Amino acid sequence: MNTYHPAWTLTFFVGTVVLLFLIFRPVTGWFWLLKKGKKVDSKVITEDILKQLFYAEEEQSEMRLNTMIGSLNLREKTLLPILEKMKSGELIQAKKGRYTLLPKGREYALKIIRVHRLYEKYLSEKTGFDKKEWHGKAEEMEHLMNDSQTEDLALKLGNPRYDPHGDPIPTTEGELAPVEGERLAELPVNTIGRIVHIEDKPEIIYRQILAEDIHIGSQIRVLESNNQRVRFFSEGEDYVLAPMVAENITVLIHDEEEIYEDAVRLSSLKPGEKAKVVSISRESRGEARRRLLDLGFVMGSDVRVDLTNPLGDPTAYLIKGATIALRKKQADKILIKKEL
C-alpha cells in the first residue's frame, strides 16, 4: 500500500527550511545569539572576578577559588578556564592558591567600579527608582557602557566624587577620594557625628539598614555600644542595631557645636506645634530636592501642620503662606527645630 503523501513531504521540507533559517540566519539566528551569549557571559564573569578581587584587596582579605565559586555562584569547570585566560592576559596572578590583581587587572576593575558607582549616582539623582533597586541596575549597566558613554554620564552628573552610598567614584585615572570616618560599631558612647557612608554589601544587611530608615548625612549620638547592640539617637529617634549591622555604617566625628541635636524630622511635627526648617537631608536628591526648596522648605522658614489625613498620609503643612501636602517619606527628609 502506497503511503506517500506529497503534502506531508512538502510540509516537512518547508518546516525544516524554516527551522534551519531560525537557527542559522545571520546575526539574529539562535546559533549566533547563543554563541554571542557565551561570549558576553565570559566578559561579565571576567569583570565580576576583577571586582571581587579589588574589594578583597581593599578589605585586606584573601580570595581563593572556593571563595569565588561561592560569591559568584559559578561552577568550578566554568570558572577555571576564565581564570586561566585572565592569567595569560596579565589581569591576575595566583600564588599558593591565592588570587590577586596585577596592575592591568586593577585598572580594568576600577573602570567597572567607576561605571557602577556613576550609574547609581544617576539613578539617585535623575530617576525615581527606589534605592533598593540601584545596586541591581548598576550591576547590569556596568557591563554594557563603553568609555565614551561613561564619560558622557560623568559630565552630565557634574563629575561627582562619591556615589549615593558614600563610596568614592574612581576618576578616569583610577584615583579614589578618601572615605573619612569610623565604623559606627567601634565608636564609644557619647560620640557625636554624621553618617557619611552606608555599605550596600552584603545586600541582606543593607536592606536591614534601609528598613530602619537610616540616612546618609544624618546626625547621631552614640548612646550604647557593646557586643549585643549599638544604640544611637538621630533626628529625634532612637535606633538599635546589631553590631554586625552597625559595622556597615561609617560616621565622621564632629565637635559638639557642629551638631544640631535638637533637629528632628518634619514628620514628627504634631498639630499645634511650630517649628523652623533646619535643612533638607542629603537623602533628598535631584529633582525631589529642588522641588522641596522651590516649595519653601529652606533654612529658617516657619512651618506647622495645617491638615492631617485620617489615614495618616499625606499631611498638609503650612509654609510661607501656602499649604503643601507631603507624604511621610518626603517629610522624613526635612529637618526642623521645634519651637517651645
What is the number of domains present in the chain?
3
Based on the domain organization, do 268 and 254 belong to the same domain? no
pLDDT at 303 over 90: yes
Looking at residue 122, what is its pLDDT?
Answer: 95
Show Cβ contacts of residue 56 under 8 Å, excluding neighbours closer than 6 positions.
62, 63, 67
Domain final residue pick, 101, 117, 143: 101
The percentage of residues in the chain with a pLDDT greater than 70, rounded to a whole number, is: 86
Based on the domain organization, do 324 and 287 belong to the same domain? yes
Q: Rounded mean pLDDT of the chain?
A: 87
pLDDT band with cut points at 50, 70 and 90 for residue 339: confident
pLDDT band with cut points at 50, 70 and 90 for residue 27: very low
Query: Taking the alpha carbons of 283, 285, 288, 292 in that order, is the dihedral positive or negative?
Result: positive
pLDDT band with cut points at 50, 70 and 90 for residue 131: confident
Query: Residue 220 belongs to a domain with what CATH number?
Result: 2.30.30.90
> Does some domain include residue 122?
no
> Does some domain include residue 283?
yes
Mean pLDDT of all residues in 58-64: 88
Q: Cα–Cα distances in Å, from 287 out to 80, 88, 169, 205, 293?
A: 46, 47, 22, 29, 10
Based on the domain organization, do 284 and 253 belong to the same domain? no
Based on the domain organization, do 188 and 254 belong to the same domain? yes
Based on the domain organization, do 252 and 212 belong to the same domain? yes
Domain containing 237 equals: 182-258
Looking at residue 340, what is its pLDDT?
Answer: 74
**DSSP conformation class of 188:** P
Query: Residue 88 belongs to a domain with what CATH number?
Result: 1.10.10.10
Mean pLDDT of all residues in 177-194: 92
Looking at residue 236, what is its pLDDT?
Answer: 87
Rounded Cα–Cα distance for residues 259 and 106 (Å): 39
Cell numbers at 157, concatenated: 552628573
> Does some domain include residue 170?
no
Domain final residue pick, 81, 101, 121: 101
Mean pLDDT of all residues in 55-76: 89
> Does some domain include residue 238?
yes
Looking at residue 33, what is its pLDDT?
Answer: 45
One-letter identity of residue 331: A
Looking at residue 257, what is its pLDDT?
Answer: 53
> Does some domain include residue 251?
yes
Note the pLDDT tens digit of each residue in 196-208: 999 988 889 999 9
pLDDT at 3 over 90: no
Looking at residue 19, what is its pLDDT?
Answer: 62
Domain final residue pick, 101, 130, 154: 101
Looking at residue 302, what is its pLDDT?
Answer: 95
Q: What is the DSSP string of 202-242?
A: SHHHHHHHHHTT--TT-EEEEEEESSS-EEEEETTEEEEE-
The answer to whether 271 and 338 have CB atoms below 8 angstroms apart is: no
Based on the domain organization, do 246 and 278 belong to the same domain? no
> Does some domain include residue 331?
yes
Based on the domain organization, do 186 and 252 belong to the same domain? yes
Based on the domain organization, do 228 and 294 belong to the same domain? no
pLDDT at 151 over 70: yes
pLDDT at 47 over 50: yes
> Does some domain include residue 63?
yes
pLDDT at 80 over 80: yes
> Does some domain include residue 124?
no
Looking at residue 145, what is its pLDDT?
Answer: 94
One-letter identity of residue 48: D
pLDDT at 240 over 60: yes
Which of 34-38, 60-64, 94-98, 231-235 has the lowest average pLDDT? 34-38
Looking at residue 11, what is its pLDDT?
Answer: 67
The percentage of residues in the chain with a pLDDT greater than 90, rounded to a whole number, is: 64
Based on the domain organization, do 233 and 282 belong to the same domain? no
Looking at residue 274, what is its pLDDT?
Answer: 94
Based on the domain organization, do 332 and 268 belong to the same domain? yes
Based on the domain organization, do 251 and 269 belong to the same domain? no
